[in-house]
Structures are given as structure tokens and as C-alpha cells.
């Protein structure tokens, strides 16, 4: 079975941005946990403002936050980090003009 490699054209053709990890936490994870946000922030050892900034998609999930949320929620930190990278990359591909940058070789 051959693995399909997503090309730049395919990636840039995606119309909808990947979900911000804060939206995932806000809409799916925290309601399932059933704890107040202030308690979640305290248990994760972050400020309420930091939690609210992430949940409102005003702040990124850093590796440090991913580790804290991973421990608190019993999940792998890499899940939230991959979501953040996908979100950031989607926006970067649409905001950075690469038209005048040559491609020296196709990487595999």
C-alpha cells in the first residue's frame, strides 16, 4: 500500500482551517470532564487568564501547556501539539507569499 503524500497544492486548497486545540478543549474535552474552568486552571497549575486565552483561541498550546493538559486529562501531550501545528501551518500557508521563493528539489 502506497502512502499518499499531501502536496502544497492540496494543502492550500483546503478551505476550512483545522480546529484550534483551544476550541477542542472548550467544546469537547472540558464539558466531558465536568469541572469548572477555574478548577481546571488551578489543577493544571496555570492562570485562569491563560486557560481562557487558550479556550478563546487567543493563545497557542505550547509544549509546556500540552504537558500540563496531557497529565491533567490523561492524554498524550502530542495530540494538542499536533492540532496546534496543523492550525498554525494552515494559517501560515495562506498568509505568507512564497511565489518568489524557488523550489530547489522535491523532498520526500
pLDDT digits (tens), the chain, 108 positions: 555 555 665 655 668 999 999 999 999 999 999 999 999 999 999 999 999 999 999 999 999 999 999 999 999 999 999 999 999 999 999 999 999 999 998 776
CA–CA gap between residue 10 and residue 1 (Å, rounded): 20
Task: Delineate the domains of the chain, giving CATH numbers in brackets.
Answer: 19-94 (1.10.260.40)
**Nearest CA-CA partner of 43 in 70, 77, 76:** 70
The pLDDT assigned to 3 comes to: 55
Res 15: pLDDT: 87
Angle of helix 37-44 relative to helix 63-73, nearest 10 degrees, comes to 110
What is the structure's pLDDT at 31? 97
Amino acid at each position: 500500500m502506497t502512502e499518499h503524500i499531501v502536496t502544497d497544492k492540496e494543502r492550500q486548497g483546503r478551505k476550512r482551517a483545522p480546529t484550534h486545540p483551544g476550541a477542542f478543549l472548550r467544546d469537547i474535552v472540558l464539558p466531558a470532564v465536568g469541572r469548572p474552568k477555574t478548577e481546571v486552571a488551578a489543577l493544571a497549575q496555570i492562570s485562569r487568564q491563560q486557560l481562557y486565552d487558550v479556550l478563546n483561541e487567543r493563545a497557542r498550546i505550547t509544549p509546556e501547556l500540552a504537558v500540563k493538559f496531557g497529565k491533567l486529562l490523561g492524554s498524550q501531550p502530542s495530540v494538542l501539539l499536533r492540532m496546534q501545528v496543523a492550525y498554525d501551518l494552515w494559517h501560515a500557508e495562506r498568509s505568507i507569499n512564497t511565489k518568489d521563493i524557488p523550489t530547489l528539489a522535491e523532498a520526500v
